[in-house]
Amino acid sequence: MCGRLFVGFLLLFAVQLIAQVPSRVENTSLKMPASPGIPQYRTADRFPGLRFNKPVALVTAPGQPNSLYIVERSGRILVIPDVGNPQPTLFLDIQSRVFSDFQFGYAEGLASVAFHPNYQQNGLFYVVYTTRLETSQGSGNHNRLSRFSRVAGQAFQADPNSESPMITQKDEGDGHNFNDLFFGNDGFLYVAAGDEGDGGTGDDYQNSQRIDKDFFSAILRIDVDELPTSLAPRPHPAIHGGYRIPSDNPFVGKTDFNGLPIDPSKLRAEF
């Protein structure tokens, strides 16, 4: 009797589960071809004969539509002033400051460049790279966001001595660094920061679960023009300055995250 009751219970439970499974709805909007067809494109060498050393970014600057900047991981930025006559020249060389370990395929190095929206007038641009330093945060790899300026009167030559660090963050891992940056249509600088992990299990240091720790696992949105309507950043040993925080950033004023209270004095409202 008990066995029959148990089997009956399982059958009833199975029926209930089946009843909860949503029925399939026919797709009426996505039209897929019966066969993929032949691709109507081909690849070509845009600049025959030109070779670069581990290029990781191709960027244009405001007011220079015919120019192209090539970021090399080792710490150089080259520029082709006129893509119609592709003759690259050296724009910036900070190889002595950049730490790049290619032997094991790690992601350190110079990662990207972003030009200020008013670059033609102020000559300012921003880079992210990894460096090895000893700071109050510790010794070893650091991720850095810096501002540079162009040589006065020179359209395609940067001043390597003009560097003004803005954030220099100690990195516990080798990978997932400060990797890219862009200016948005709102005029603010957006910086993509990895989770600091080594690429094993992912998020090795739980940075994605915190908004009151360090500058990792986030998109930073900062005001490099330091408008009076923006807010001062909270103190952190990684901060050098040179920016403020837009008042409409999503975590401004937050006192909790993921259901847990946070210390407002440690809030990274740059996120």
pLDDT computed for residue 216 by the predictor: 85
Binning pLDDT at 50, 70 and 90, where does residue 29 land?
confident
CA distance 137 to 171: 9
CA distance 105 to 173: 14
pLDDT of residue 139 exceeding 90: no
Beta bridge pairs of residue 189:
183, 222
pLDDT of residue 230 exceeding 90: yes
pLDDT computed for residue 39 by the predictor: 78
Nearest to 270 by CA among 199, 178, 203, 204: 178
Which percentage of the chain shows pLDDT scores above 90? 55
Task: Summarize pLDDT for 174-205 with one digit per residue, the tens.
Answer: 677 778 999 999 999 999 987 777 666 666 67
pLDDT computed for residue 75 by the predictor: 94
Residue 122, helix vs strand vs coil:
helix
Task: Summarize pLDDT for 93-121 with one digit per residue, the tens.
Answer: 999 998 876 555 567 889 999 999 999 99
Nearest to 167 by CA among 147, 190, 182, 181: 147
